[in-house]
Amino acid sequence: MIDLTGKVILVTGGSSGIGAVTVRTLANAGAMTILHYFSRRDKAEEIVREMGCDMPRARWRDRIHLIQSDLTQENGAITLWNDALSWQGRIDVLVNNAAIMLAAGVDDNLALWSSVWQKTLQVNLIAVADLCREAIHHFKSRNGGIIINVASRAAFRGDTPEYMHYAASKGGIISLTRSIARGFAKDNILAFAVAPGFVRTEMAEKFIEDYGEDFVTRDIPMGKIAPPEDVANVIAFLASGLAPHATGTTIDINGASYVR
């Protein structure tokens, strides 16, 4: 069992999918977890209720803190960071998980194409970079910290034509993470990326509906879509700081469907 007692961890996009399972995993390991959500406070509250069923509600309120922020807005990530920092006065680990996956192909009209590209890059890359910037400044003042960015298998092998923007944004995350690792290791700042393949989450359901589960699993040697727990467990390990010399590493979680 990874012990994260005493660590304050910010998880973006924490109310559903990989983020929700990650919040549960980190909190169960002892972390004080900041759950960022966009619009569904009811889903965020549900996570707190579910985890508090075996202990007093107030205790879980001390372990999971909810913050709403719209990362599609310019400087939304900066506001989120400042609000998160005010809870305990420090953040030890940043988990950039929030992402969107909208469809737009070259045959769609230019207005849709442009809108989807801009919105995807804003949420999936620019907001991530803004949060990393704030985290680096904070960690330098505290003699270190950990950044974990959730990328994708698509960063390395690409995606279907309707999701080129998604693949491009995730490729940017890999380069961003490696640059942070190289540039700030001297400040005891660690940066990691995790690159899931298909994970059974709400965000992936649209793709699965469009293309069918057989299409999704046909090139996965394990023959099935990964559960979000696989990703959350890797994030928990990286958040522990037990392998500092692995900084800059990307960990693939794709059932051997893409081996680099």
Q: Which of the residues are catalytic?
A: 166
How is 52-86 classified by DSSP, letter by letter?
GGGS-HHHHHTTEEEEE--TTSTTHHHHHHHHHHH
Q: How far apart are the first and last CA of the chain?
A: 29
Distance CA 208, CA 111 (A): 26
- The answer to whether residues 34 and 8 touch, using CB atoms and an 8 Å cutoff, is yes
Q: What are phi and psi of 110, to 5 degrees?
A: -60, -35
| C-alpha neighbours within 13 Å on the C-beta side of residue 43 | 17
Distance CA 66, CA 39 (A): 12
> Helix crossing, 41-51 with 17-28: angle to 10°?
30
Distance CA 85, CA 114 (A): 34
